[in-house]
Amino acid sequence: MTDGPFVTLGPAAEIAPGETRDYQVEGHSVLVANCDGTYYAIEDRCTHDDGPLAQGRLRRCEVECPRHGAKFDMKTGKATALPAFLPVASYPLRVTATGTLEVQFEQA
């Protein structure tokens, strides 16, 4: 259950369609992708070998780990290609009326 407060990341306009950006916030590594105007946030860590997904390529709404080619769905965090088979965390994300990205984490 995700019930923590939303935390500001930055302006949504800084991430063009088809691009990603990584953020370090409150002990979390977060990867945000702009998938044709809709934004998604997942954990920025490959479950295969802890590699940074932010260094990988985004195709459609799937990010590929640059180390061994594992792929993850940006919408759900689900692993979609081996060698990874475990999902990454997926975080609720919203764009405010002023165009700011905000992410929500679970309360500890």
pLDDT computed for residue 1 by the predictor: 45
Strand 28-35: give its sheet, edge to edge. Answer: 20-25, 28-35, 38-43, 90-91
19/40 Cα distance (integer angstroms): 11
Q: What is the pLDDT of residues 28-85, one digit of tens each?
A: 899 999 999 999 999 999 999 999 999 999 999 999 999 999 999 999 999 999 999 9
**Which of 1.10.460.10, 3.90.1150.10, 2.102.10.10, 1.10.357.10 is the CATH number of 6-104?**
2.102.10.10
Q: How many CA atoms lie within 13 A of 90 on its CB side?
A: 14
CB of 70 within 8 A of CB of 62?
A: no
Instruction: For Cα atoms 44, 96, 88, give the angle at the middle one, nearest 5 degrees.
Output: 20
Tell me the pLDDT tens digit for each residue of 76-101.
Answer: 999 999 999 999 999 999 999 999 99
Q: In what order do the strands lie in the sheet with 93-95?
A: 6-11, 100-104, 93-95
